[in-house]
């Protein structure tokens, strides 16, 4: 592949204002071409781009196209920066009036140097908000798609759509469906801006001369007009890749705009690198319908403040995953100590979850056309979710969810880039595809959407769109749910047993049970909306009875059954909130609730009143 850096523009406005500035602050920049002006981090703007593309393993040659007016400046720069002088192309123009136009400059380089290879084109006078993005990732994505590639970014709030070339991109295929060069207000809802950063297949290079024959004026020989013609009229396949950073061409901007954007990008970079990112995800309890989420059923679940996982990310020189002192032990007091810890906590801590999430995140972004910066970081985690609370699953899910939140913030990946519905699938795939853990979507959906969530996993929805229908429910005035779990979950049962195989084989008892779970969920949703807590309590009991009839006592385990029986002695509704080791209940008699708490504690169980997490209210309800 060949890279061509374009620096042939005539920045007359900026050059004139620098020359006439009476503060004396910019006198040393008088006459300096715009690509050689200072950029972020004290580097010249062109220095950054040369460092980014000066890689023999990626490019066979790099060319620089300049004008005759500033040719000597770039010749001197080439000598000082080990850039091959023979690769500096002079387009012969000396003024703005006799310029060739950006597309003509590119065509000149290709024709004069007889280039016959794929080409990456970059404007060498473009300010970049982040100095660390990965050129190799861009090339890999370009080669994975059957067409040209345009780099785009999401406009900041202060930027107007009419100041940029706008792209409309199909989320599923990454194909650019329409290109609009500096559109008028209201012409498109897109806030995705194209920059002069493209990859063009060698077979398409002949289109440059065809376009130039149609455009006689230099003002019309811009890349914006070229892409409008190629995409909207010729309907060639052109794909888009998003960079999570901002860009500013300083071609015809003034001195105040140049200094403002330079200061803005520098400040953003300093702030981003100095502040740690901390994200928290909460455990959940299944209130209704589980375990039908894995069987095209419906469920209602709620995130709770009592238990959480927290991940902290801080930028660092190398990528470091820090083991948790309790959950990832590497040192023990004795062999007996190792035995006791391993028996109670298991062998698999959270470190593998951090690693698997990072790996899957990079893979997802590469596939989805989201270029990431080459920044490293240190990740650490903490959690207070007991292994007993639903068999360690909320701990796993919460750590993965919190890690993903941190990575999205660090790399500026937005909700549009990774929507909540897809995010839940992502978390599930980390566990199923990377760690080979059998799991369903319910937990992941709740930890992404947070709060009280109704979920429909019908076969039709899952097959058509790859995810279910998720609805956040009002959490105002919820009754006091409670949670209890075993101090030692060793007898909590093998909850899922052979149910999946029986369901896949179409066993009527199991198939009908999963349909009934879904019906109970719809009734529970109505009870929640009507604030009918007596009805909700009845439905919770029915949910457990149905589960018991299908899974049998042997699968549920004596520990779970003991907690259920104890709760029923006090007239409380009770069910399993997940896969086992804990029970969730609803007791509407406050006096009996106090007595029940004491009874659970005397039975050696941990008992707590649930503190629902309500994102709409800013946290705890």
Q: Are 537 and 586 in contact (CB under 8 A)?
A: yes
- Give, as one character, the DSSP assignment of residue 583: E
Residue 456 a catalytic site member: no
Q: Are 155 and 289 in contact (CB under 8 A)?
A: no
From residue 61, give the alpha-carbon distance in Å to each of 55, 68, 119, 389, 551.
9, 22, 10, 59, 66
Q: Phi/psi at 509 (nearest 5 deg)?
A: -60, -45
List residues bridging with 619 in a β-sheet.
614
Q: Which two tokens stand for residue 159?
A: 């930027």
β-strand 605-609 against 119-123: which pairing, if any? unpaired
Q: How far apart, in whole angstroms, are the C-alpha atoms of residue 354 and residue 109?
A: 47
Helix axes 351-368, 135-144, angle to 10 degrees: 60
Q: Number of helices (H) and strands (E), helices first, in the chain?
A: 19, 23
Q: Which two tokens stand for residue 468?
A: 């279910």
The DSSP annotation for 185-221 comes to TTS----EEEEEEEEE-GGGTHHHHHHHHH--SGGG-
Q: How far apart, in whole angstroms, are the C-alpha atoms of residue 65 and residue 106?
A: 8
Q: How far apart, in whole angstroms, are the C-alpha atoms of residue 516 and residue 22?
A: 80
Single out the residue of 108, 344, 347 nearest to residue 212, CA to CA.
108
Question: Three-class SS of residue 65?
Answer: strand
Of 91, 443, 456, 614, the catalytic one is 443
Q: Phi/psi at 593 (nearest 5 deg)?
A: -60, -40
Q: Are 398 and 308 in contact (CB under 8 A)?
A: yes
At a CB cut-off of 8 Å and minimum separation 6, what does 60 contact?
A: 1, 2, 117
Single out the residue of 497, 501, 502, 499 nearest to residue 555, CA to CA.
497
Q: How far apart, in whole angstroms, are the C-alpha atoms of residue 239 and residue 438?
A: 35
Q: How far apart, in whole angstroms, are the C-alpha atoms of residue 418 and residue 303?
A: 21
Residue with the two structure tokens 């679940």? 301
Q: How far apart, in whole angstroms, are the C-alpha atoms of residue 64 and residue 85?
A: 9
Single out the residue of 85, 96, 83 nearest to residue 8, CA to CA.
96
Write out the catalytic residue numbers: 443
């Amino acid at each position: 592949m060949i890279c061509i850096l374009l620096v042939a523009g005539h920045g007359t406005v900026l050059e004139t204002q620098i020359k006439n500035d009476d503060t004396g602050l910019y006198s040393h920049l008088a006459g300096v071409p715009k690509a050689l002006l200072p950029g972020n981090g004290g580097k010249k703007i062109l220095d950054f781009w040369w460092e980014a593309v000066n890689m023999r393993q990626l490019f066979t040659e790099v060319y620089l196209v300049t004008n005759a007016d500033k040719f000597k400046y770039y010749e001197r720069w080439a000598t000082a920066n080990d850039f091959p002088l023979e690769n500096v192309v002079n387009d012969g123009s000396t003024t703005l009036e006799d310029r060739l136009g950006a597309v003509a400059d590119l065509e000149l380089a290709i024709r004069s140097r007889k280039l016959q290879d794929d080409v990456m084109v970059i404007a060498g006078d473009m300010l970049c908000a982040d100095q660390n993005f990965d050129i190799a990732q861009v090339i890999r994505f370009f080669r994975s798609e059957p067409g040209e590639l345009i780099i785009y970014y999401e406009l900041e709030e202060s930027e107007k759509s009419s100041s940029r070339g706008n792209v409309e991109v199909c989320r599923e295929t990454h194909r650019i469906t329409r290109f609009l060069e500096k559109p008028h207000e209201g012409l498109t809802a897109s806030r995705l801006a194209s920059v002069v950063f493209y990859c063009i297949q060698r077979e398409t290079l002949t289109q440059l001369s065809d376009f130039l024959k149609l455009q006689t004026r230099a003002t019309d020989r811009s890349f914006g007009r070229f892409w409008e013609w190629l995409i909207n009229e010729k309907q060639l396949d052109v794909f888009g890749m998003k960079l999570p950073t901002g860009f500013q061409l300083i071609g015809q901007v003034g001195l105040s705009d140049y200094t403002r954007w330079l200061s803005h990008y520098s400040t953003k970079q300093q702030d981003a690198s100095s502040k740690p990112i901390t994200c928290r995800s909460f455990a959940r309890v299944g209130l209704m319908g589980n375990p039908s989420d894995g069987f095209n059923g419906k469920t209602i679940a709620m995130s709770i403040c009592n238990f959480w996982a927290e991940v902290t990310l801080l930028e660092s020189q190398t990528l470091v995953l820090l083991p948790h002192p309790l959950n990832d032990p590497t040192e023990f007091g004795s062999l007996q100590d190792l035995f006791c810890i391993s028996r109670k906590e298991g062998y698999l801590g959270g470190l593998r979850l951090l690693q698997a999430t990072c790996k899957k995140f990079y893979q997802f972004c590469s596939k989805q056309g989201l270029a990431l910066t080459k920044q490293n970081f240190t990740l650490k985690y903490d959690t207070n979710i007991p292994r007993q609370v639903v068999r360690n699953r909320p701990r796993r899910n919460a750590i993965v969810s919190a890690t993903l939140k941190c990575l999205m913030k660090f790399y500026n990946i937005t909700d549009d880039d990774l929507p909540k519905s897809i995010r839940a699938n992502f978390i599930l795939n980390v566990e199923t595809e990377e760690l080979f853990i059998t799991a369903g979507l319910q937990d992941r959906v709740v930890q992404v959407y947070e709060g009280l969530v109704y979920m429909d996993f019908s076969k039709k929805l899952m097959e058509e769109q790859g995810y279910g229908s998720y609805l956040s429910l009002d959490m105002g005035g919820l009754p006091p749910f409670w949670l209890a779990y075993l101090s030692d979950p060793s007898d909590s049962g093998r909850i899922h047993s052979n149910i999946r195989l029986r369901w896949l084989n179409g066993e009527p008892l199991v198939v009908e049970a999963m349909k009934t779970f879904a019906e109970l969920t719809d009734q529970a949703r109505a009870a929640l909306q009507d604030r009918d807590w007596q009805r909700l309590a009845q439905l919770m009991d029915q949910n457990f009875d149905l589960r018991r009839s299908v899974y049998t006592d042997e699968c549920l385990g004596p520990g779970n059954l003991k907690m259920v029986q104890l709760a029923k002695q006090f007239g409380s509704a009770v069910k399993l909130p997940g896969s086992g080791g804990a029970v969730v209940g609803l007791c509407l008699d406050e006096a009996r609730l106090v007595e029940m708490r004491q009874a659970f504690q005397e039975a050696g169980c941990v008992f707590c009143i649930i503190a629902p997490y309500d994102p709409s209210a800013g946290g705890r309800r």
